[in-house]
Every structure is written in structure tokens, then in C-alpha cells.
Amino acid sequence: MMKPRINVRGKNATPQLSEPFIKKKEQVGGENRQNGKRDFRQRCGGVSGSPKDRSPGWKRPLLRALQEMEEENPIGWGSPYSGRRTGMGRKDKRIRSVVVSVVGAVLLGTLMGGLIMSLFFSEDPDLSTRSIDSHLRRAPDDAEQSKSRIEGEKSGAKKKQSPQTLQLPVLQAVLVQGGNFKEREGALKTVRKYRSEGWAAVTTEDPPYRIYRGVGLDREGSRKLTDVLEEKDAKTYAKEVQFGAQSVPLTSIPEGKSLITWLNHGHQVFRLLGEKSAEGLAPGEKGVSLEPVWSEVLEHYNHLVQTAPQLEKGIPAKAKPQLVQMVRGMDQVVQSGQTNPKQPESAMLWQMQEGLIRYALAYEKFVEALR
């Protein structure tokens, strides 16, 4: 039995081919090369291989064409080395569209960036309506506040000077109340009792009937009177009042300027003698003199009395009784002080206080009648 024969070759050894196989391969390769040359000439349009005979549009190097022919499996339908030309127009269009897209994106981004910067970083929000916070209300600065305050004062002055209304002089005082009654008879009985003892006492005309026993220009002036009254076990109550603060229709007062002048004279007498009488009645006070202010008091009083009849003709009928009561109250004040202006007695000072109370209560009713 014959043993099988095994040929062993090294790793890098080249197998030996038989001579017929080599010749056959060279013959097939030659035919392929001949066929490749023939096909190449057909693809080139039958143009000879001479560079002078080729068309000007030919741009493929001869070396690349020959390399394609020598390949065993050439690709002849659009390879990079074939004689066919690819669509350059399509490639140019694609490049152009890409360039246009990039340029458009850059322009759009620049525009949007500028708009966003103007929205968030506007230097003058008052002039830029595109600011993101233009709809928000800003806190007014000092200039705007002063401007609005001036405009408010001007508008308030115009309202006060409106031809439809008239602002009367305001009378401020602190009344000292010493009783409150439901029945008028009980109030009048108490008033007569106080007067018989030398005190001031005035009751109101409408219920509830309150009894007022003094008047001061402020809290300090009224406290001097309450201290004296409480020494006699009298219960008192200080009440701040302000008469004439609200305006009245001008149609009810044809002579508005004359009325204001007249009221200013009466209010001035009220202030001068209200302060002096309260000072003279304070506990421990030795006395007070009216001479420093008496000439001024008489000047205002004389004007008040002389112009009252003419003024009475130009006011509504329902306000005339109150005007008369105001004049009578000033008469009581001046006549009580005229007895001894240099050093009036305590009883005379209480009489002056009673006249001042009558004037204040009559002025309250006078303003209500004009309204």
C-alpha cells in the first residue's frame, strides 16, 4: 500500500504553477488587454491615442485610462477614471444652495440678535416702545412728584376759586362743655343757675341741649378754663370744633367778597379776646390787661357793626337771624371788656367768654343756612 504524499511549504512560500497554467493566464490577460483597449477606444468616440487628435474637452490623464484598462474588472459606468463626465451643473447648484442657506442664516441671526438686544438693553425706555418693560408702571422720580404736586395745588386753587362756590373763613376753637339735657327746660334752669354764680353758660337751640361754659383757641387755652371749673366740682368736657371748613354756593351770596371781609373782622376779635380772657381766668393768674389789643379790637368791631345792616340785605332770609346773633355776641364781648380794659374783673372775663361762645355757635348755624 502506497503512503499519501504531503507537500509542506513555508508560511511565505509561493506555490509553483505549472507551465500550461501560466501560458493560459498570459493568453487570457493579453486578450483582456486587447479587448480593454478596443473598449476604451469605443468609449472615447473612436479617437486615436495621439494627444494632437484628441478633442479639447478631454481632461482625463492617459495614465488613469490605461490603469483602468489593465484592471481585470473595470467599472465603466461612472467610475472616477472613466471617460464619462458627471453632472457638474447639479453639483454647482447644490453648492449655491448651501451658500445661500448659510448667508440667510447669518443675516437672520444678526437681525434677531439686534432685536433682542434692543428689547432687553434699551437705553431710553421712555422713547423706546419696544422695551420689554415698557408696559410696566415706573415709580415717579422727584421731578415727576414735584410736577404732579404743583399741578395738584393749581387744580386745588382753581377749585377754591371756582365761580360756583365760595370758601368762607374757618373758625377753629375748643368748646368746654358742662352738661347735656334732653329737655330744654332742664337746660335753661341749669344755665340760669350758673349765671347767677358768675359763670358763663350758653345752651344750644336744638336737642340734645348742650351747655357750654367756656371757649379756648386751642387745647392749652381750654385747659385753663377746665382747671378753674373743676375746682368747683364741675364736670367738663373739651370739644374741638371747626366751623366754615366747607365751601358754600356763590348763588346764595351775591356779595361774597363783602361777606368774607366782614367775617374776617369778627374772627379777629374772637381770636384776640379769646386768648386774653382764657389767660386772665387761669388758676393762680393775678390778672390780665386788655389795653395792648384793645385798640385793634375796637377797629374790627366798629367795621363789623357798621357794615352788618348792608350785608344783611344780600344774604338769604334763613341766614339773617344767625347774622344778628353773631353781632349780638360781639356786642356782649366788647361791652364786657370796655368796663375796665386795663384790669378787667373775673366776672367780666366770664361774660366775655359767654359772648364768644354765642358768636361761635351762631357762626356754625350761619354756615349751615348758606349751604
pLDDT of residue 11: 47
Q: Closest Cα to residue 179, out of 203, 153, 144?
A: 203
- Write the DSSP string, 256-316: HHHHHHHHHHHHHHHHHHHHHHHHHTSTT------HHHHHHHHHHHHHHHHHHHHHHTTS-
pLDDT in tens, 150-187: 666 656 555 444 458 889 999 999 999 998 999 999 99
**pLDDT tier at 314, thresholds 50, 70, 90:** confident
pLDDT over 80 at 311, yes or no? yes
In this model, does residue 211 exceed pLDDT 50? Answer: yes
The per-residue pLDDT for range 283-301, each reduced to its tens digit, is: 887 789 999 999 999 999 9
Does pLDDT of 273 surpass 70? yes
pLDDT over 90 (residue 6): no
Query: For the chain, how far is it from start to end, CA to CA, in angstroms?
Result: 156
- The answer on pLDDT for 4 being more than 60 is no
Tell me what pLDDT residue 254 has: 67
Contact 250, 168 (CB under 8 A): no
In this prediction, residue 96 carries a pLDDT of: 82
Q: What is the pLDDT of residue 46?
A: 47
Set of cell numbers at residue 344? 378787667
Q: What percent of the chain has pLDDT over 90?
A: 43
pLDDT-based confidence at residue 216 (cuts at 50, 70, 90): very high
Cα dihedral 172, 175, 180, 182 sign: negative
Output the nine-digit C-alpha cell for 24: 493560459
- Position 123 scores a pLDDT of 56
The stretches of 77-161 forming alpha helices (DSSP H) are 88-120, 142-160
Measuring CA to CA, how many Å separate 135 from each of 118, 119, 125, 144, 318? 15, 12, 10, 18, 57
Radius of gyration of the chain (CA): 61
Find the Cα–Cα–Cα–Cα dihedral 358, 364, 370, 371, rounded to 10°.
-170
pLDDT confidence of residue 115 = 78
pLDDT for the residue 144: 61
Q: Per-residue pLDDT for 10 more than 70? A: no
Q: What is the pLDDT of residues 140-149, one digit of tens each?
A: 555 566 666 6
Q: Compute the mean pLDDT over every residue in the chain, rounded to the nearest whole number.
A: 77
